[in-house]
Chain A
Amino acid sequence: MNRDRVRTEVKELLVTGLRLQLPLAEIQDDAPIFGEGLGLDSIDALELVVLVEEQFRVSIPDEDVGRKALASVNALVDFILAERAA
């Protein structure tokens, strides 16, 4: 899978799936997804887990994996690519 394409899909998922009121270009690749950055909290993360698992056919089974995978857009892209390569 192409990294740039996955990155764009992840950002689209954030905006449409989590109903963020901001353009894709404003989502920073390395900024934290949860906490201050986009104004999302750990409960919003549950919905992102479900959406990511569904769209990219990967599994985020628990908090340990989730914390790493959802740290930033780039972390999520890395996670998806690694899981799909495995």
Chain B
Amino acid sequence: MSTFAGKRVLVTGGSRGIGRVTALAFARAGAAVGFNYSRSEDDSEAGETLAALRATGAPTFSSCADVGDPTAVTQLFAEARATLGGAVDVLVNNAAVTQDAPVMMMKDESWDRVLAVDLRGVFLCCRTVLRGMIAARWGRIVNVVSPAAFVGQEGAANYAAAKAGVLGLTKSLAREVARFGITVNAVSPGLIDTRLVGEMQSERRSEIERQIPLGRLGTPDEIAAAILFVASPAASYITGSTVHVDGGLAMR
């Protein structure tokens, strides 16, 4: 499959989970792929992702960079341009953090940090990538959101607010750049079988599965497939939209 041959892709938050699987899927589809991660304790996982990307033969790089920091974002995209051989064509804003607490007990820092990474980070990456996309008159931006943006989430109002903010950003930017051949969409993964869920007690897991119409958790591959679809030529007429890949969890 070479749907993305000649394309340069940047996936934020790519050291593990959905980001890693998405980066690999793009590389297998012929793209040059880079990713970032923000914490140095994730170096070894990032190394594994990088090795897997290299094994596909695609040009690739990884960078320890915080998307909430404008200087780091500028450097990240400069590095992408240098190592991938040109400006980024496809941006997947996947990086996110959580710092859960009920609103009444939430610290200022928890609110600010989650908004800084999960919302401001998406804004900063979009702003930086646009010049190259406008020059090329082509681009794909895919923002990873969450059912929390649509239905809220107890104990994670900061995360839900950030993700709902990303939806507003997605639609506004989609309107702004449509005339340049750039589409901006969101993908909303439901509960996905990643390490976090793997550590969950089986009773709690079964309880969660009962709430999902399709009766099971999703896999990172199922999210990556949706992200690749909205970035592909097959989705050329889709912009400002959200693809819900959640087993029906957030359907209304």
Contact = CB atoms under 8 A, between A and B. Distances in A.
Looking at chain B's contact residues, the main secondary structure is: helix
Contacts of A47: 134, 180
A60 to B, nearest CB: 10
A46 B135 contact: no
A9 B176 CA distance: 27
Nearest to B134: A50
Contacts of B135: 50-51, 54
A70 B140 CA distance: 28
Interface residues of A, number: 8
Contacts of B180: 46-47
A19 to B, nearest CB: 11
A43 B179 contact: yes
Interface in B146-182: 176-177, 179-180
Given A43-B176, A43-B179, A50-B135, 14 more contacts: A43-B177, A46-B130, A46-B134, A46-B176, A46-B177, A46-B180, A47-B134, A47-B180, A49-B131, A50-B131, A50-B134, A51-B135, A53-B131, A54-B135
Interface of A: 43, 46-47, 49-51, 53-54
